Amino acid sequence: MTKLKGAAVFGQSGGPTSVINASASGVFQQALKEDLITEVYGAAHGIRGILEEDFYDIRKETQEELDLLKTTPSSALGSVRYKLKDPSVDDTDYKRILEVFKKYNIRYFFYNGGNDSMDTTNKISKFLAKSGYECIVMGVPKTIDNDLFGTDHCPGYASAARYVATTIMEIYHDARVYDTPMITVIEIMGRNAGWLTAASVLAAYKGAGPDLIYLPEVPFTMEKFIKDVRKVFDTKGGKVIVAFSEGCKNSEGKYIAEMGATLSKDAFGHAQLGGAASVLADILKNEFKCKVRGIEFSLMQRCGAHIGSKTDVDEAFMAGQEAVKAAVSGITDHMVAFERVMVDGKYTCQPKLINLSHVANTEKTVPLEWLNKDQNFLTDDFISYALPLIQGDSHPPYVDGLPHFAKLKKVSVPKK
């Protein structure tokens, strides 16, 4: 492929994280430097912005705001949950994308997201290639779920993990002040992979963590759960902290939350979860006749940029830069991934590229051998894996004692 010259478009997709904007900053700042890239566009609300020609001109943004993006949580361009149909069934959207790309001479397409978004990226890449339109397509990983295939870890995970571990340490101190029994059930995000819930063990590593940890990788049974809680309750003076993944299911594949509420479904057909903590709290209250508190980390765990991991922020920025560097070198149809390389026993993170077809829709779960025998706690192997990722304190600059977040000008590109 001869080197392509043209505009670049970048979009954000899926649930936001604390560092998805750090990747945006990396893409933008690198793209603005590249001679082959004539224009740098941000797509409003991901793929929808492309379909609707809703682009922001990133050249109009200041260096200061682009730098502030590194510590600004959530998706500054707006995100989307929009499922492209299989092109063999309905290629309307793909044709429209091709039309828009041609119109704006878009030759570089960067898409930042998780499993579903990489599937979207892959389908677009294959369609463009098939149609003969020369365009570099590059995926940038992102997910607090840490479940993308082919990468040691995913940008966004470590900052959410640092939020989870730090907050549980604080809750641990709070939940033990009275000399009466108290059970605390903390619900943590993660649809099918328990990586984020597993991070709660880092608080235990610091001596102030959960007693029991339940991941969706292990089929859940209420009987064993109550037995587990009883054992801790009896040996630790009635003080129990449970970290629980929202994605835990029983052997019939039924979510715990379904026992308490009817589930609605999002655009991808995934069940919208939440509520497991209050369901379990009710059951435990009835069983143990003591104070039980159900806590849901809700949106806070994925947008807590004030307790971000500097390692995560730096790597997310780097992932964005690397995507652009690889793209202008002529590589297409790949996603940037991370390889852990130990140098003199010290953690380093090296970028690598993996084929989009390999990553799309493949979920990476927590290895079962990293769980203890009772499958209700994590071993030191997990701690060795996760601890290097949460090193370094990242937070936004504070003005008036509060975060100063980026506020992009979002100058619209005139429609063609």
Which phi and psi (to 5°) does residue 357 adopt? -60, -30
* Distance (Å) of CA 340 to CA 133, 141, 154, 315, 324: 35, 16, 12, 12, 21
176 counts as binding a copy of itself under rule CB under 8 A: yes
CA torsion angle for 154, 157, 158, 159 (degrees, to 10)? 130
Nearest CA to 146 out of 396, 389, 310, 322 is that of 389
Distance from C-alpha of 110 to C-alpha of 25, rounded to nearest angstrom: 12
Among 242, 307, 349, 378, indicate the residue that binds a copy of itself (CB under 8 A): 307
Asked if 236 touches a copy of itself (CB under 8 A), the answer is no
In eight-state DSSP terms, residue 298 is T
Closer residue to a copy of itself in complex, CB, 53/91: 53
Tokens 């149909």 correspond to 85
Whose Cβ is closer to a copy of itself: residue 43's or residue 359's?
Answer: 43
If the CB atoms of residues 52 and 57 are measured against a copy of itself, the closer one turns out to be: 52
Residues 325-344 that bind a copy of itself (CB under 8 A): none
Would you give the binding string for a copy of itself spanning residues 93-132, x where CB under 8 A is met?
----------------------------------------
CA dist 345 and 10 (Å) reads: 36
In angstroms, the first-to-last Cα distance of the chain is 27
298 touching a copy of itself, by CB under 8 A = yes
Catalytic residue among 145, 228, 312, 333: 145
Amino acid of residue 6: G
241 binds a copy of itself (CB under 8 A): no
Strands 6-12 and 334-343: unpaired
Please, is 285 exposed, middle or buried when counting C-beta atoms within 10 Å of its C-beta (0-12, 13-18, 19+)?
Answer: middle
Based on the shown chain and the rule CB under 8 A, indicate whether residue 387 belongs to the binding site for a copy of itself: yes
Burial of 407 (0-12, 13-18, 19+ CB in 10 A): exposed
Sort residue 97 into left (φ over 0), alpha (ψ -120 to 50) or beta.
Answer: alpha
145 a catalytic residue: yes
Say whether residue 146 binds a copy of itself (CB under 8 A). no
Could you say whether residue 138 binds a copy of itself (CB under 8 A)?
Answer: no
> Which residues, numbered 54-83, are part of the site for a copy of itself (CB under 8 A)?
72-75, 78-81
Binds a copy of itself (CB under 8 A): choice among 248, 390, 408, 413:
390
The number of C-alpha atoms within 13 Å of 251 and in the hemisphere containing its C-beta is 4
List the x/- string, 22-51, binding to a copy of itself by CB under 8 A.
----------------------xx--x---
Report which residue type is found at 72. Answer: T
Residue whose pair of structure tokens reads 């939440």 in the numeric block: 274
The residue within the footprint of a copy of itself, chosen from 24, 37, 136, 175 (CB under 8 A), is: 175
Quote the least distance from Cβ 246 to a copy of itself, whole Å: 13
The answer to the question of residue 197 lying near a copy of itself (CB under 8 A) is no
- Which one of 109-117, 243-251, 330-338, 391-399 is the stretch in contact with a copy of itself (CB under 8 A)? 391-399
Residue 303: CB minimum distance to a copy of itself, A:
4
* Complex with a copy of itself: residue 87 or 260, whichever CB lies closer: 260
Among all residues, which ones are annotated catalytic?
A: 145
- Give the binding site for a copy of itself (CB under 8 A): 12, 16, 44-45, 48, 72-75, 78-81, 162, 165-167, 169-171, 173-179, 184, 202-203, 205-208, 278, 293, 295-296, 298-300, 302-307, 309, 311, 387, 390-393, 395, 398-405, 407
